[in-house]
Structure 1
């Protein structure tokens, strides 16, 4: 029965008609520009400032996004507990999706509302206190709220631990929802918990309830993210790959974090992400509407090219943050990398 649900979900239908989809940009960066104070929970704005959240979603859709993430990244009980809002998980996630549904349904083209679910912030046993059961319960509570609000698909993102990814997968299954899931490869080509791009593909394919699409988000800069996408593509996976890279590298400017990526750089990144093998392409931290407009235009007007080499990527988007992509001697691109010193 569940397979039938997946065949008819809105994202799968859209993926059948298009060879690339554009996702959205940053949530936090845009909300800080609208007055969210550092340290405050963005999710509370779903109840307190719904017009601003509708504006956030509309900025992405107006710029050409086919899919946007709901304002629910930290909407699990563990994260909301820091703001004494752990009893509001269902409500805040439902509102995040409801506002999104309203924005999407006004359009004359299909726009996918993706229910964002970020990490719990807890460490798994034996190092920490989080168990598989607790993690599943936390994600499931969030998933049910997003489902109730009308999300088309659940979108697990910025995960570092394979255990957490697996728990989220189970929670999405319990909610009877299709899902996508990305991890953050921010530590010399690996996730903070040591997973490589190729190890992620192996894990994803073994899941009893695999995602519709998988990939990488956030991390360091756009170059590193595309190196990870090449790692996914080198496995020969046929599952759609997601690339959601930051708009350049974070720099401190006047006490604020500023991402140095221009719209031109992000246009270059979007086309290269597609040519590296990604199907769903968006931006993460620092990616604003003007970046998305440039990305959409580039994806629509620039023809597909050969799969970029690491030299191509570093020449156009800047050098890598580490010499290694975490794959070591077995890496598909070792011989090309050896010649580049950056």
Structure 2
């Protein structure tokens, strides 16, 4: 039977994913240092509201509140024995919201990094990573997730371990990495590296791409890097809502809904099929993104780096990590601001 995400991707030429989990939960009162996953059991109404906010704003896909739901991260909160329970609850709440929406909405089981460094630089073995990801995947599967959504990965070995876990759980999956270090992941992977790597996996992802990072412009440069490899596999773009700033004791992202609407259309025109937001992206941003995707015509050509910089601000580094020129560097004064 065809999974729901594949079905939607055959019916539509773009899909909108959700926005930020952490930003929304902090606005609900989550305290820094607390485990968001505990709210799946302790404050389920808040998690329902998180999911419903994205669905009501037009998201076709939303991620479960399970980013740090692996044993390594939960051990920091003495909850390593609750992996299955907390992930199952995250997906069950998502299933409830999706089924009540009256349309086809994909529940994507979020799987973040373990937080450990893989061998040989660190102590985490490949088999241990697979075991942790598999345990999490089984909980999300039991709760009714449609697809696993591996995100914010830096190391290729960890990405491969998550792919193996999805295979063991017999679950379709998607996978993104964070290209936050001068166009590369923290572990040195480029957009070209990831585009090639996904095709070598025993169970390739339904879609692959980039999330988070250091700004929407940088992320779209990475998307152009994926598209340049000629892969026919759908590409994911899930960029932050601008640049973070510390304001009145809180982290605030300066990207307006209007700017994120521009980002969404540019992401589509750069070659992305699944378009969403990451840190700082609220339902207000998502509504503007959905409206723009529905009403603005698709461009006949890929956006240039200059066009991206003009719309979203310049780039944070002089290279996309592959040695190609980046175009204009970021100049905070030149960013188009809207209120």
Normalised by the length of structure 1, the TM-score is 0.95
Q: Match of 2:39?
A: 45
Q: Secondary structure at the match of 1:172?
A: helix
- 1:275-286 pair list within 5 angstroms: 275-286=269-280
- Alignment of 1:264 with 2:245, yes or no, is no
Cα distance in 2 between the residues matched to 1:140 and 1:165:
13
- Return the offset for 1:256: 1.3
1:11 corresponds, among 2, 5, 10, to 5
Structure 1 Cα separation of the partners of residues 309 and 163 of structure 2: 34
State the secondary structure of the residue aligned to 2:233: coil
Q: In the alignment, is residue 149 of structure 1 matched against residue 143 of structure 2?
A: yes
What is the rounded CA distance, in whole Å, between the counterparts of 1:193 and 1:30 in structure 2? 29
User: Contact conserved, 2:314 with 2:329, CA < 8 A, in 1?
Assistant: no
Query: What's the counterpart of residue 66 of structure 2?
Result: 72
Q: Could you tell me how far apart the structure 2 residues matched to 1:14 and 1:289 are?
A: 22
What SS class does the counterpart of residue 89 from structure 2 fall into? helix
Distance in 2 (CA, whole Å) between partners of 1:223 and 1:231 is 13
1:322 to 2:317 alignment: yes
1:284 offset after TM fit, Å? 0.1
Using the TM superposition, give the Cα deviation of residue 167 of structure 1 relative to its aligned residue in structure 2, in angstroms: 0.1
The C-alpha deviation readout for 1:223-254, integer Å capped at 9, x for no partner, is 00000000000001100000000000011111
Instruction: Report Cα offsets for 1:7-64 as digits up to 9, x if no partner.
Output: x101000100000000000000000001111110000000000000000000000000
Structure 2 unaligned blocks of 5 or more: 331-339
Matching residue within 195, 199, 211 for 2:193:
199
Task: For residue 255 of structure 1, report the CA deviation from its aligned partner.
Answer: 2.0
Size of the aligned set, in residue pairs, is 329
Instruction: Work out whether 1:311 is the aligned partner of 2:306.
Output: yes
- Whether the 8 Å CA contact 2:316–2:329 is kept in 1: the answer is no
Runs of 4+ in 1 over 2 A off after TM superposition: none
Normalising by structure 2, we get a TM-score of 0.96
Aligned to 2:243: 249
Matches within 5 A, 1:179-218: 179-218=173-212
CA distance in 2: counterparts of 1:35 and 1:341, whole angstroms: 36
